[in-house]
Structure 1
Amino acid sequence: MSKKLRSMFWVGLLALSVGVVHADASVGVSVAPNTPENAVRKTILRLVPSAEIQQVIPAPMPGFYQVIASGHLVYVSADGKYLINGDLVDADKGTSLRDDAWATYSKAELAKVPVADRIVFAPPHPKYTVTVFTDVTCPYCRVLHEEIAAINKEGIAVQYLAWPRTGVTDEDGKPTETYNEMVSVWCSADRNSAFTAAKEGHGPKPANCKNPVKDQFDLGLRLGVGEKGTPTIYAQDGAVIGGFLTPEQLLDAVKQHTSG
């Protein structure tokens, strides 16, 4: 993935350091919102004008809002003056509220992707399902797919989403080689076979059609896959449970994230 994509959101925050940031409303723009949500949005966009804000909701701690924007989660005070970049921990339970928030958001967003737009490898009667953002060229993605039969044997269905690491277009605005390859896979008559062949280094015959590759890449950006890398594996509850995992490790992880 390009440096530009990786730093899309943080480029505006690096100058602000980490921890609690005083976002003085008198600097840059005048914040005179009618609602706390507007104040929060104006603060984010003043600090990072290119940020794409997906969510602004009340945070677990009073007086702050939780913001998901361009693949990152931060907390902003209701008056727009303070921004916290960091984890939020429930001191009583010792759990990460940030992780819980990401899982809730990711589950809802992933649910919008039709199964028909995914490449699915599943046993006849799966007990568990994971969603994996993958690139056909990344080494660990390939190693993971080499274990697909063993993963299915554990009762786990794997639903792949496309995430070309080099992005959709290069600096000249032309489709990247990996993007074209993944489009060809998704446009193949037998997508599963083309997918497996690509993972083995045998690129598919060039093809084009109406496909979900760019939409899935954009979804990955919103979920922060650019920071996590590929493969990124999501359990059914929306939690990220790993990059590469062995079949046994994957089974243990999905069991921990399956209710009942």
Structure 2
Amino acid sequence: MLKRLLPLALCAALGTTVCLQASADEASVKKALETKLGTKITSVTKSPYLGLYEVYAEGQIVYTDEKQSVIIAGTLIDGKTMKNHTAERMHKLMAIKFSDLPLEYAVKQVRGDGRRVMATFEDPNCGYCKKLAREAVKLDNVTIYTFLLPILSPDSLEKSNQIWCSADRAKAWNDWMQDGRAPTGKGDCDTTAVQKTVELGRRLNINGTPTLFFADGDRIPGAVPIAQIEQKLAANAK
């Protein structure tokens, strides 16, 4: 509730006209840039620096001025705090609502009481994903939803379909990722879930595997130490 009220309070303090003008400016910048760049822009927000607008599209941030006379692709560092403003904004913009994930399309594994949850997007031929699978056996009291995202090769799609069509998907996944035992499923069942995951990966701008999501919506791309995953799970369980 507080988060919803803050923008209203700010508008009351600054005046409705100021707020409406800011929204209009952001809308005009968005419309103009979509025409120039030929791509759909997710959001345009006035940044607190140099009058620049933050433009978020296709999982990336660029900056421009009110007249779009320049388009800046790079990182903004706050000169006073030396914090990476762009990285902080990307962290927020790339977060999701965990409950929006179509978990029925994922391979589900429950360990212990399963009270802690995470989701991963992985390619069966991804070396970093195999490392993650071997390390993840150390996690307990967790439910892991693994979305099969075959983006590396045609064989990735074949293996994803075989794993999905296995009688025990979690076992087939672990046998392959942890021990190198190839899946024996024929891959001729309904593999809509794999196709839908590929589409979901595009919508979420997932460009590499593994990509991890946690209960608070935070995204961590790439291979990370198991200690960091455990820390994140513990924080969300509080």
* Shared fold per TM-score greater than 0.5: yes
With over 3 angstroms needed to count, the CA separation of the structure-2 counterparts of 1:123 and 1:137, relative to structure 1, is: same
Compared with structure 1, are the counterparts of its residues 230 and 246 closer, same or farther at alpha carbon in structure 2 (3 Å cutoff)?
same
Instruction: Determine if the alignment matches structure 1 residue 212 to structure 2 residue 193.
Output: yes
Runs of 5+ in structure 2 lacking a partner?
Answer: 1-23
* Separation (CA, whole Å) in 2 of partners of 1:225 and 1:180: 20
Measure how far apart 1:94 and its partner are: 4.6
Aligned to 2:157: 179
Structure 2: distance between partners of 1:101 and 1:219: 22
How many angstroms does 1:202 deviate by?
A: 0.6
What letter corresponds to residue 159 of structure 2 in structure 1? E
1:66 aligns with 2:54: yes
On the 8 A contact 2:98/2:214 being kept in 1, the answer is no
Q: Which residue of the partner structure matches residue 232 of structure 1?
A: 211
Task: Indicate the percent of aligned positions where both proteins have the same amino acid.
Answer: 21
Change (3 A) 1:194 1:80: same
Runs of 4+, deviation exceeding 6 Å: none
Residue deviations 1:174-232 (CA, integer Å, cap 9, x gap): xx331232133234443212322342341332224152323333433444432xx3212
SS at match of 1:212: helix
CA-to-partner distance for each residue in 1:24-76, whole Å, 9 max, x for gaps? xxxxxxxxxx86424334324523x3x343x1131442644433322322233
Q: Is the 8 A contact 1:71 1:221 kept in 2?
A: no
Q: Would you say the 8 A contact 1:188–1:207 is kept in 2?
A: no
Matching residue of 2:143: 157
**Counterpart in the other structure of 1:190:** 168
3-state DSSP of counterpart to 1:244:
coil
The AA in structure 2 aligned to 1:193 is: K
Corresponding residue to 1:42 among 32, 36, 41: 32
Taking structure 1 as the reference length, what is the TM-score of the superposition? 0.65
Separation in structure 2 between the aligned mates of residue 215 and residue 112 of structure 1, nearest angstrom: 14
- Greater share of helix: 2
Inter-CA distance 236–96: structure 2 relative to 1 (3 Å threshold): farther
CA distance, structure 2, for counterparts of residue 66 and residue 259 of structure 1:
33
Root mean square deviation of aligned Cα: 3.2
Q: Distance in 2 between matches of 1:43 and 1:56?
A: 11
Aligned length: 211
Higher relative contact order, chain-length normalized (CA < 8 Å, sep 6+): 1
The higher radius of gyration belongs to 2
TM-score scaled to structure 2, two decimals? 0.70
Task: Call closer, same or farther: CA 1:117–1:43 in 2, change over 3 Å.
Answer: same
